[in-house]
Amino acid sequence: MKSTVSLLSLLIVLAIGCQATTKDDQNMQTAQTETEAVSKMKPGKNKITFESNGETLVGHLYLPNDYQEGKKYPAVPILGPMTFAKEQAPTEYAKRFAERGFIGLAFDSRYRGESSGTPREFEDPIAKVEDAQAAAHFLSSLPMVNDDEIFGFAVCQGSSEMLRAVAEDDIFKGIVTVAGHYRDRAADIQWMGTEEALNERLAAGREARDAFKKNGEVINVPAVDETRMDVGMPGKFVYDWYIEWANKGIWENNYPKMSDANLLEYESLTAAQKLDKPYMMIHSDNSFLPDAARRQFAAVPAEKKKLQWEGQTGHFQYYDDPSTLDKTADLAVAWYNEI
């Protein structure tokens, strides 16, 4: 009997050992695969994936033009405007950061582009805050990134989300926001035209969100339209810029109506009020809601901060005008190097 028990015990030990060895082997294989993937990265664009709250995000990691394996570089995850795709403004800036010796990460936030998440094209500022933080932590895991030089960068509405991401996560060492759409109650009333219009849109968004929670129904409207006012971003000026991306098949002109609930319940003023890291705001008289930008900048308590006011530069020039993009990237890099 004793021999039988001893043999059984030995078999159990061997089985547990085999399972542990298998798990170790799997972990080793995963590590080897990740190491191989990193070793294959080259200067310029590299396609990558990382996780954010259970979703897989897809991005393009731009390594410096003079990239050398074994060297560490500063890195910048980038958030774009409302409804952005990575191929738009984020790519323009990621390329320019790489030209200036930085690593730039342009990525699709969850629900959009090549990244996972449903409902598709859902606009959720808090999700973008979390995605920006996940992007920064992904960068910190890479051997070519200097952990002490990870900085936030954002354009338009991404600015209000990056403010919160940076204020709440010490992985970021500083931040630059460009042509920001900053969010507080007064700014939202100005954005919607009247307080009544704001309240109506928020109520309709909450109603659509309740329908989704109750029965999974997704009520969709266009993201942009020339004349309709119930869309994500109404008006011919915005429509003319975005619809070209839809025509190219890069961007979806779709907007789940329940996005308005999450979008209009969000604000960035409280994040600005607790931002104690070096901050540069780049804005202009012709960027969106300049008074809101000044309010948010004034609220930031950081000892090191700079307001770079650009006079008459147009809002969309910060998205795609080469000379404006070059100047803005130069300003951002100079600021990061000062930190």
Per-residue pLDDT of the chain (339 residues; tens, 9 = 90+): 434 434 444 433 334 454 555 555 555 444 444 556 787 899 999 999 999 999 999 999 999 999 999 999 999 999 999 999 999 999 999 999 999 999 999 999 999 999 999 999 999 999 999 999 999 999 999 999 999 999 999 999 999 999 999 999 999 999 999 999 999 999 999 999 999 999 999 999 999 999 999 999 999 999 999 999 899 999 999 999 999 999 999 999 999 999 999 999 999 999 999 999 999 999 999 999 999 999 999 999 999 999 999 999 999 999 999 999 999 999 999 999 999
State the pLDDT at residue 35. 59
Neighbours of 336 (CB within 10 A): 23
Q: Is residue 292 part of a domain?
A: yes
Contact 156, 81 (CB under 8 A): yes
| CA–CA distance, 286 with 93 (Å, rounded to integer) | 20
Neighbours of 221 (CB within 10 A): 18
State the pLDDT at residue 25. 59
Q: Is residue 33 part of a domain?
A: no
- Using DSSP bridges, classify how beta strands 55-63 and 44-52 pair: parallel, antiparallel or unpaired: antiparallel
Domain of residue 112, CATH code: 3.40.50.1820
State the pLDDT at residue 20. 52
State the pLDDT at residue 36. 61
Q: Is residue 119 part of a domain?
A: yes
What pTM value is reported for the model?
0.90
Q: Which residues have a Cβ under 8 Å from the Cβ of 281 and sit 6 or more positions away?
A: 176, 177, 180, 293, 296, 297, 305, 306, 307, 308
| CA–CA distance, 174 with 180 (Å, rounded to integer) | 16
State the pLDDT at residue 4. 43
Q: At what angle do helices 290-299 and 185-192 cross, to 10 degrees?
A: 170
Q: Which residues have a Cβ under 8 Å from the Cβ of 29 and sit 6 or more positions away?
A: none
Q: Is residue 16 part of a domain?
A: no
Q: Is residue 64 part of a domain?
A: yes
Structural domains of the chain, count:
1
Comparing CA positions, the residue from 154, 153, 147, 142 lying closest to residue 170 is 147
Residue count of the chain: 339
Q: Is residue 171 part of a domain?
A: yes
State the pLDDT at residue 38. 84
Q: Which residues have a Cβ under 8 Å from the Cβ of 36 and sit 6 or more positions away?
A: none
Residue-number span of the structural domain to which 136 is assigned: 41-184+268-338
Contact 296, 163 (CB under 8 A): yes
State the pLDDT at residue 12. 37
Q: Provide the sign of the torsion angle of the four alpha carbons 284, 288, 289, 294, taken in this order.
A: negative
Q: Is residue 17 part of a domain?
A: no
Taking CA atoms, 288 is separated from 187, 188, 236, 254, 330, in Å, by 10, 12, 15, 22, 22
Neighbours of 139 (CB within 10 A): 25
Q: Is residue 61 part of a domain?
A: yes
Place of tokens 């429509």: 239
